[in-house]
Structure 1
Amino acid sequence: MSVRIGIIGPGGIGRAHIARISDRLARGRVVAVTDIDPAHAQRVAEPIGAAVYPDDAALIDADDVDAVMVTSFGPAHEGSVVRAIEAGKPVFCEKPLAPTAAECLRIMDAEQRGGRRLVQVGFMRRYDAGYREIKATLERGELGAALIVHNRHHNPHSPQTYLEGMSITDTAIHEIDVMRFLLGEEIVSARVDKPKRTTSAFAHLSDPLMLVLRTASDVLIDVEIFVNNTYGYDIKCEVVGERGLIALSDQNATVRTSPTGRGNRIAADYNERFEAAFETELQEWIDSVQAGEIVGPTSWDGYAAAVVCDAGVRSLRAHGSQEFTVDLIEKPAFYA
């Protein structure tokens, strides 16, 4: 029997998820759609035969919706996620869980009052084969302790609506979460350095940026954020250990040879680079809903990433390169 899924706010990532569920994944079916723009909801729902609901509350309460996916604008996440929790329905929420730590705490409170885990956060890097291989290598102890991690997160272009701070909260949040995942510990401080600014960005945006993080055991992490590199979607991760290093391989196996040289093609966007990770993520979520036990990234993971983002944004907006402490609450036993 298929898991009947309702989609709230199907923008670009939501429509991509619908295509994955409808065309390539097993045991899941999108049966309901709602959006702030009813005409858009109708356009999305019609090709897949899904029902259109006037708002998130009506969709969540529908008897034929078993589980909910929230793919709306980040500031709208809290209300939809809490409604799904209160209805007792599993909910997959795209990152961020919510834009601020305070909102994430309210989601966690609702989930704990309900007495069982219902929320999975869309941190898809955890499902990428390369990152999973790095984690397995670290856990086997082959490299000794991790000491330094270098990351790159480049996008070809950002729109004018991409505002100051989103380099941290919308882009580097992926590295923030996957560093916690790989290293198995919390991040305790964040600092942002501003290199020379590119002429390719809109005037309101500082780009590129260097985000420098430190973990509880003193692992130093850098994230090179560049959202207007003009050449492609370029992701790198290299972990330096006591006895060696391990890094993500090139983005795909396609090699081109031309008069200017020989090299690998760069992915155009996150869907191309992480398509396999997205499919694994959603299939594992559907299977966990069927099994009655959600096992993916938790509300705590969403909250912890949000607190690091808060510290990073504070550093970005401060004068000079200031380091800010990441102030997490004590982790509830519910999420242990």
Structure 2
Amino acid sequence: MTRQGSGTSAEASTTREQPRPLGPDSLTWKYFGDWRGLLAALWAGSMQNMHPELGVAVEQHSRFFEERWQRLFRSMYPIGGVVYDGPRAVRTAHEVRGYHNTISGVDRHGRPYHALNPDTFYWAHATFFMSVILTVEYFGGGLSELDKRRLFDEHVRWYRLYGVSMRPVPPDWESFQAYWEHMCREVLEDNGATRDVLDVHALARPPALSWLPAALWRLLRIPLGRGYLWITVGMYHPAVRERLGYRWTRTDELLLRWFGRLVHHGWKLVPRSRRYHPRARAGWRRAAGEIPADAPPVETPVRNLPPASEWHNPAHYVPADLRRRAHR
């Protein structure tokens, strides 16, 4: 098992390169903060949890299953900020890294783990990168091979902002594809954390839909949950699908592709300013000069925060002013 902070001197010199945040000329800016990415959220969460170390860390440390929607929506702010915060992105990346400092322990086999172990931390980032690829492939009109290579290079630049070991990062797009194949076929496992993420039969109302009558939500969540799981299964690598015991037919694939085209063309009717998450939207506005370059980052609404008793926990993203209040 890889220890936190391991690496060669050559790698260390690489990580000392001055990280450069991505900008509005990047494909990552174009795609990562797009709300269509939510269609891959269940896929990303389950793929992350299938990593042996990451899965046990979630089982032992995460409140995800007590506040599924809140955790998802508040996490989008700092993670999106690493892409869209411009000159502040390095600081945001270090804050995100800091949330993982205390996440460690021993798994059921007696093996130690730490969320900042290089292979574990990079795996989470790799799923974010692949969620962009898959979202655009299925719901955004597709990508050329050149675009995929460009997105790969951008994901390396994006990852460098965290200031962690670059040892696990493949050197090029071809190597990444081999890495992904190996992870899906040889490393990922069916575990409790993954099954819990995929269990959407009792999905709670999203905080933004608190106005919706509970009885109506109970009716809606059944088809919505099944549809969301179906999309997720369709996006899985075949080896992952097989490991989890899901069946996928040619008809399923054709239907998913048809649905994806419908989303792609329907999305063109959405005003551009409404297509992006608030943190991403602020990045675009800052780049266009519509708001000051030093404007504070857009933070998550209070409805997405963990219980106030958890605001002091360094593993949670909580806006700084509220965290200071918790420490008083």
User: TM class by shorter-chain length?
Assistant: under 0.3
Q: TM-score, normalised to structure 1's length?
A: 0.26
Q: Higher strand proportion, which one?
A: 1
